[in-house]
């Protein structure tokens, strides 16, 4: 368990779990959760996924989040693969960012705006904000939005890191697995009586979306 975390981080996380009553899961099998695709993608997994999908390594990547646990050291692998990493703290002058500081909702709103307007949006974790961003981008004309299959990403990444997959095969399988996960028009899975098991409405509010315009005939 916690193979990718330093001992100090592991200890701090456990202290926090028991310090807050609302933290429901006190004992977590991180290996099991990760293999099930229930953990956020790590910077290493994100870097490998983007490279496998032929994302230009010179592209500017905006990190729509607060400071990652572990800081720059934890981001090193992503920064090595995609050196043009930015966030609101690096794009804005301190004087420009100052009015929003100490207002977490406003800081999140800045991330939301950039996420909605970006050329490509990649949700490394399926939280509420990522789901709403996905739906908003569909509403704006089905903008390119990658929803990674984290279970497949973890499986492929582990095999690649263990030398069980060559890069060409790793990339080909990753592309095949995500061919239909780019935010294109799709029916939302609805399960009557089981709302928690069906697709999240706000990530694909298909009833509210106009069908995409047909391509002009040639």
The three-point CA angle 49-110-70 to 5° equals: 50
Rg (CA), the chain: 19
Indicate if the alpha-carbon torsion angle 125, 130, 135, 136 is positive or negative: negative
pTM for this entry: 0.82
CATH 3.40.50 residue ranges of the chain are 41-208
Taking only the tens place, the pLDDT of each residue in 24-48 is: 666 778 889 899 999 999 999 999 9
Task: Tell which CATH architecture fits domain 41-208.
Answer: 3-Layer(aba) Sandwich (3.40)
What is the tens place of the pLDDT at every residue in 117-165? 999 999 999 889 999 999 999 999 999 999 999 999 999 999 999 999 9
10 Å CB burial of residue 133 (0-12, 13-18, 19+) is buried
């Amino acid at each position: 368990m916690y193979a990718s975390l330093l001992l100090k981080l592991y200890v701090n996380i456990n202290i926090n779990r028991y310090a807050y009553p609302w933290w429901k899961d006190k004992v977590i099998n991180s290996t099991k959760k990760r293999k099930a695709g229930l953990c956020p993608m790590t910077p290493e997994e994100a870097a490998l996924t983007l490279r496998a999908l032929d994302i230009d390594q010179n592209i500017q990547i905006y990190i729509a989040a607060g400071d990652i646990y572990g800081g720059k050291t934890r981001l090193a692998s992503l920064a090595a693969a995609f050196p043009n990493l930015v966030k609101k703290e690096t794009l804005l002058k301190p004087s420009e960012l100052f009015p929003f500081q100490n207002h977490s909702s406003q800081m999140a709103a800045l991330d939301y705006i950039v996420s909605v307007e970006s050329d490509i949006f990649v949700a490394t974790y399926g939280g509420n904000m990522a789901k709403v961003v996905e739906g908003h981008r569909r509403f704006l004309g089905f903008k390119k939005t990658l929803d990674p299959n984290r279970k497949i990403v973890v499986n492929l990444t582990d095999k690649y890191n263990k030398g069980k997959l060559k890069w060409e095969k790793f990339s080909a399988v990753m592309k095949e697995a995500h061919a239909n996960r780019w935010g294109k028009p799709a029916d939302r899975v609805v399960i009557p009586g089981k709302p928690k098991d069906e697709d999240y409405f706000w990530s694909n509010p298909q009833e509210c979306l106009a069908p995409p315009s047909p391509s002009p005939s040639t």
